[in-house]
Structure 1
Amino acid sequence: MREPAGYTPRLPATASGPSRGFRSVRSRADQEAMRAKACRRGGGRPGLQRTAAQFDWRWMPMSKLDGRVAELAEKYHPLAIEILKEAIRIPADYVDRPVEQGGDPRCGTSNHEFPRLDYLRKRIIEIGAVRDAKDVDFDAFGNLVWVVTDPNDAIPADQKKVIYLDGHTDTVKPLRDVWLAKTNGGVDVYDGLLDRAKITKPMLEKELGWVPPESEWDSLLFGRGSADQLGGVISQIVASKILLELAPEGALKGVIVRSYATVCEEDNDGAGPMYVMRNVLPGAKPELIPDVVILTDSTGDAKKGALGIYRGQRGRMQIEVTVTGRSSHGSMPWMGLNPLEFGAAILKEAAEKYEKRDGFLDNEFLGHGTRTASWATLDTPSDCAVPARFTFRFDRRLTIGETPEQSVKDVESLSSVAAARAAGLEVTVAIPVYPDASWKGYVLNNDQIYLGWVTPEEHPAISAAVTAYKGVVSPHVNGVSGTGGFIPKEPRVDRWIFSTDGVGYPVPKDDTSIPVGKSKNWVVSGAYKHPAMFGFAPGIEQNTHKIAECVDVREVRHCIAFLARFPSVFAGNA
């Protein structure tokens, strides 16, 4: 059936579909029936306790809070999608407007997030995602920060569990013309689906890592940032609203939830939390220092399933190689020293060594280290001359056991580098510094090294995440793990392929500037320590940074429920 121009996905309050296996929140009668069934299995007496070994969670009735959280996540799902659509669309108001009239051709990308953030701040206040307008504001770096807690739970602030929710609000470059060209005018990078009749499954499968059956496309929301990772940020906002609404029922008992909508992550991974670790937490009171950080960057996998619980990622760094030669006229190349040709030899040798995994370690959980050429620039008088300078960068992903220092040495030791120097060219291998200012004008000047991290699976934060998933996600899905991008019924604990804001949290193990008490239970790994971290968010990793990027909005509903339930589970509340 052809849909009219301007068609947007239908967003039912209760999504369904045989392939995804969604069903609506159980009615009160259904819940009571489940409780009765569980009692019968437990010997017929309500309240009978079984040991963990005896009890099968699949027959456990939803707790009252599980049911209430899931109910409100469904109720506010349309609100979340409304906010998400507008957060994606907002740059369209600025990218084509003249700068002198307030326009910004880079609106929405790193260091140009303010219009989106300003909209989100206003909506946070309007929908009641904070108790008071003063509970949401920008920090000096430009992150949007809001806090929810229960002031009436009679628990001192310094004894509460502190939970950070962290999601970035910038996106990669939009490439609007490319989107329109590749989708035959069917999808716009900001306005989303324009004409469903113009897009086909083969077209989407060519661009994306995972595409659901066409019968479920009504649940897809297209646009730059939909999967990476505005869906996660909006989930934080609506979860905050639910936490406040359910505070009288224990949703916030003994916890402080600090949410961060961060900036500059795409250009400078972890910049937002890096600012916090450097400038906010040194000397801070316990009520500011996190016990756990939940990263709301995409945790879906095209083959393993959506909404994974991700407890680690590889590190990342940039290695910049500058080859300086001697320019000359192109008709007399013997008078010059060509940095492009010698640089090409370096790139070739580096690629060959990576293909052989020469100098790269592997890790069963995180995967192997990688290196690939990612950027280049050429200084040349003209296209008929020997260039003067060739600069390029490697994107180096670091697995456990690999270090930035050794990664630089590996490039320095390439025989092609030695050959260039022997021929009279200058070759420098260095780690670049990120020089750009945030939209607030703050410059971090950090080396472009982004440390990997892993939270042990046995950490209480991961156990609580699994419990929360079973309480508010599992009862409402029928998906099977390992069947494409569907949401699995069983929680899937895994790790990211790409990088996240989590790289901004590790600090040297011996750093005492942040007063981390033992009760915070931070993770110590090698020479570094960090709060327990994991990710949970809508979006499929293999669909991020892609033409026709999209998110299945049903994942947003379950992410909201998870984020609203985790704090009380982690704090030990029923």
Structure 2
Amino acid sequence: MDLQAIKQAAATYGPAMTKFLREIVAFPGESSEEKEHVQRIEKEMKDLGFDEVEVDPMGNILGYMGSGKTLIAFDAHIDTVGIGNRDNWNFDPYEGFEDETQIGGRGVSDQLGGIVSAVYGAKIMKDLGLLNDKYRVLVVGTVQEEDCDGLCWEYMIKERNIRPEFVVSTEPTDGGIYRGQRGRMEIRVDVQGVSCHGSAPERGDNAIYKMADILQDIRDLNANSADESTAIKGLVKMLDPKFNPDHYEEARFLGRGTVTTSQIFYTSPPSRCAVADSCAVSLDRRMTAGETWQSCLAEIEALPHVQKYGAKVSMYEYARPSWTGLTYPIECYFPTWVIPKDHKVTEALEEAYTSLYGNERIGAEDTVEMRKARPLTDKWTFSTNGVSIMGRNGIPCIGFGPGAEAQAHAPNEITWKQDLVTCAAVYALLPSVYCKD
């Protein structure tokens, strides 16, 4: 294969990728409101000569190149979060901006840049005759990821029987290759009390006070050590083979689990002059290798004050209609996943990258020092659609995408033109490397 031709083709398409990205960003596209993003991506795929383009009943956009036996997919979620406080932005988040090296706008890193590079990676495969009877490429722009990671792939796998050989997540990776992430859960804890007039609180049973005790236990679960003398052993225990004999090495790679309180609710039916008769909290639970939804719920249920007050512990469910009106309910459990460092997919992506760009991360001048200080192959801090692809369904997943994880959900979000080019070239080469044997 002519590696220089691949790099040159990607560089030549750089201006077109920038234009494409800016035109997607011009439309707001929060979860369940991605229609205009889909329409713009559909047009680009058709204009570039994709062999087949479809929008599925959930609203995901799927573009196919080639007709080979092995299906290789590139996933990019095309919804974004909102802009937050507009006063925190130095430029219009939808008009965006570009200069010689950067592109600004809501979603440029998280993660509309990924669909742009994947679309043009497939185009390069076609241009250079890299498509053959060994593989077929699927580029997917998926919906509702910001609301419910992996929901889109649950639908495609379970309802449409789309099961690629492996999937490349194009979420931002700061120039690196990412082979896993911690999972997460959305947990709710409810405790009941008895209301009474606030002038005589002893007549009631204040649910907020009960929750205050429970919250101290939750804080201890996150912060404590795992010493034998500790009544509530901290989540750090999963890094110890004593508590996690089968998965502690993977847990050390991904990092320890965490739990934090993210929301609090109460009811006090009569008025503000009354004792609260219920209180509930939402917990953001990040899970490392070896933790499951069952173990995480049991851990909260076992906390001393949860037991003392008979609190109810449950998992949230997501059931919001997509932009097409389809509702696909699912529990808010997003499993941990990690692909082995010696897996064929990991090695293929590393070979594709190093063949083109060497053994270190690269990037624009303002990023390269920070990137080169990090290992080429690493993991995400946040969550991705890999929670369904590999976490729930066992389909190998690997990450390589333009932009920076730290830009996700931030005001003044930017990405780098060089990243779009780099990723398009690596995507174009990867299927040939994987299918060469």
| Shorter-normalised TM range | 0.7 to 0.9
The one of 182, 198, 219 equivalent to 2:88 is: 182
Q: How many residues align?
A: 414
Deviations 1:102-157 (A, max 9, x none): xxxxxx1112211211121122212x1513xxx111112221111101x5xxxxx4
Structure having the higher Rg: 1
Alpha-carbon distance, 1:543 to partner: 2.1
Would you say the 8 A contact 1:470–1:490 is kept in 2? no
Cα distance in 2 for partners of 1:440, 1:79 equals: 29
Secondary structure of 2:329 counterpart:
coil
In structure 2, give the amino acid aligned to 1:345.
Answer: D
2:199 — aligned with what?
331
Matches within 5 A, 1:177-256: 178-179=85-86, 181-183=87-89, 186-193=90-97, 218-247=100-129, 250-256=130-136
Cα distance in 2 for partners of 1:566, 1:402 equals: 32
2:142 — aligned with what?
262
The one of 32, 42, 61 equivalent to 1:121 is: 42
Identity in percent: 32
Would you say the 8 A contact 2:223–2:234 is kept in 1? no
Secondary structure of 1:243 counterpart:
helix
Secondary structure of 1:463 counterpart:
helix
Would you say the 8 A contact 2:169–2:400 is kept in 1? yes
* Closer, same or farther: CA 475–340 of 1 in aligned 2, 3 Å: closer
1:420 — aligned with what?
309
Deviations 1:202-261 (A, max 9, x none): xxxxxxxxxxxxxxx7422222211111111111111122222122xx344521111111
- Cα RMSD (Å): 2.5
Alpha-carbon distance, 1:377 to partner: 2.9
2:163 — aligned with what?
289
Cα distance in 2 for partners of 1:419, 1:477 equals: 52
1:394 — aligned with what?
283
In structure 1, give the amino acid aligned to 2:384.
Answer: T
In structure 2, give the amino acid aligned to 1:117.
Answer: V
* Closer, same or farther: CA 297–257 of 1 in aligned 2, 3 Å: same
Would you say the 8 A contact 2:390–2:396 is kept in 1? no
Deviations 1:259-284 (A, max 9, x none): 11111111111011111221122xxx
Secondary structure of 2:27 counterpart:
helix
Query: What is the TM-score normalised by the length of structure 2?
Result: 0.88
Cα distance in 2 for partners of 1:473, 1:331 equals: 72
Cα distance in 1 for partners of 2:181, 2:110 equals: 16
Secondary structure of 2:120 counterpart:
helix
Is 1:310 the counterpart of 2:186? The answer is no
Cα distance in 2 for partners of 1:506, 1:479 equals: 28
Cα distance in 1 for partners of 2:82, 2:200 equals: 40
* Worse overlay, 336-345 or 257-266: 336-345
2:243 — aligned with what?
none
2:320 — aligned with what?
436
Cα distance in 2 for partners of 1:502, 1:352 equals: 30
1:570 — aligned with what?
434
Deviations 1:281-325 (A, max 9, x none): 2xxxxxx5311110011112xxxxxx1111111111111112232
Would you say the 8 A contact 1:470–1:491 is kept in 2? no
* Closer, same or farther: CA 447–339 of 1 in aligned 2, 3 Å: same
2:341 — aligned with what?
457
Cα distance in 1 for partners of 2:127, 2:61 equals: 22
The one of 389, 396, 403 equivalent to 1:532 is: 396
In structure 2, give the amino acid aligned to 1:456.
Answer: P
Cα distance in 2 for partners of 1:498, 1:84 equals: 23
Cα distance in 1 for partners of 2:254, 2:213 equals: 31
2:209 — aligned with what?
341
* Closer, same or farther: CA 570–339 of 1 in aligned 2, 3 Å: same
1:280 — aligned with what?
160
* Worse overlay, 381-390 or 446-455: 381-390
Alpha-carbon distance, 1:540 to partner: 1.5
Alpha-carbon distance, 1:375 to partner: 2.5
Cα distance in 2 for partners of 1:310, 1:471 equals: 18
Cα distance in 2 for partners of 1:479, 1:334 equals: 64
Cα distance in 1 for partners of 2:369, 2:18 equals: 20
Cα distance in 2 for partners of 1:83, 1:489 equals: 31
Matches within 5 A, 1:446-525: 446-474=330-358, 488=372, 492-506=376-390
Cα distance in 2 for partners of 1:404, 1:84 equals: 37
Would you say the 8 A contact 1:466–1:491 is kept in 2? no
Secondary structure of 1:537 counterpart:
coil
2:57 — aligned with what?
140
Would you say the 8 A contact 1:129–1:240 is kept in 2? no
* Closer, same or farther: CA 129–331 of 1 in aligned 2, 3 Å: farther
Cα distance in 2 for partners of 1:75, 1:564 equals: 14
* Closer, same or farther: CA 488–255 of 1 in aligned 2, 3 Å: farther
Alpha-carbon distance, 1:391 to partner: 2.2
Cα distance in 1 for partners of 2:272, 2:26 equals: 40
* Unmatched runs of 5 consecutive residues or more in structure 2: 226-232, 240-250
Is 1:406 the counterpart of 2:295? The answer is yes
1:130 — aligned with what?
50
Is 1:556 the counterpart of 2:420? The answer is yes
